[in-house]
Amino acid sequence: MLSYKIFVGFSILWLSTFPFYGTIGGMESITLSPKQQEIQAFAEKYQSQLAPNKNPHIQYFFRLDQATVSVFSSGKVLFQGAKAAHYAGLFGHQPEKSSSSPASQNFALIGTDEVGNGSYFGGLAVVASFVTPDQHDFLRKLGVGDSKTFNDNKIRQLAPVLKEKIAHQALLLSPEKYNEVIASGYNAVSVKVALHNQAIFLLLQKGINPEKIVIDAFTSQQNYNKYLKQEKNHFPNPVSLIEKAEGKFLAVAVSSIIARDLFLENLENLSQELGYALPSGAGSKSDHVASQILQAYGMAGLQHSAKLHFKNTEKAQKLLER
């Protein structure tokens, strides 16, 4: 059972982050979180249409027929353009019948999201935010709902404003604590269930009274409920796991921005401690930096800064053997 006591070692802050779904000037925008195998298959199929992109958090950027596809280090994939739905359909996306207009979220809502799940270095940040309808105009004026266009500097500028104005609860599971929890029997999904549940629980403890609670789906409702039984802290409010929720609900969007800021702060602090610039994501750059840390500090260095069960650990070890 991952109880509150374990969270004592995590940084608990007030923060937020978000992506976007819908249309921008008539251009359709869709964000999915497909499996890594699906991403790699797509990358191989459209390798000839890879294009350069200055965003450091984009692993692959494709210029396709009437659409662009951005694969982020977080594992999320953004489709934009007239044929966005066509390419998203290759990942099993089905157009939604329900409206995601402002009226569809015209109620007090807790929304949660996590950042860091797809990054080898850095911790796992989860944030729950409480947003009411009278805050929607303020959030839209800030640009919440279109965070995919923001660079890290913009995220760092927005986060303090959101932390001050929006009630939220943030949790950071440090890499070291993450590795301990995984070693104790948790897996990548059950850890996220524990963190999302704990963030919501702590926010509700502050007297928040939401009409709905939405989690940006990272697993099925059945899996979530199964792992939830292992947790100590429970609450009576029903929870909905909704795909692409950060583009449909401003509360989830806020949580996404704050969580991104928290993750970046943790990555920066770890970089300063070790004397190496730790990259986000889990690409080849992470392998090389990990091998340098291994050489300088041994496995203890990676235990402190990275998620050891990622394949990057094995790749870094092989790099040292050459």
| Binding residue ranges | 113-114, 216
Q: Under a CB-based contact definition with an 8 Å cutoff, are residues 125 and 263 in contact?
A: yes
**Spatial CA neighbour of 98 closest among 242, 254, 251, 210:** 242
Say which residues have a Cβ less than 8 Å from residue 51's Cβ, sequence separation at least 6. 61, 62, 63
Say which residues have a Cβ less than 8 Å from residue 10's Cβ, sequence separation at least 6. 123, 171, 172, 173, 174, 177
Q: How many helices (H) and strands (E) does the chain have?
A: 11, 10
Q: Which residues are annotated as a binding site for a divalent metal cation?
A: 113-114, 216
21 SS3 class: coil
Let me know if 304 is exposed, middle or buried by CB neighbors in 10 A (0-12, 13-18, 19+): middle
DSSP classification of residue 259: H
In what order do the strands lie in the sheet containing 109-115? 167-173, 124-131, 109-115, 212-216, 240-242
Q: Under a CB-based contact definition with an 8 Å cutoff, are residues 84 and 29 in contact?
A: yes
Both structure tokens of 217 = 């789906």
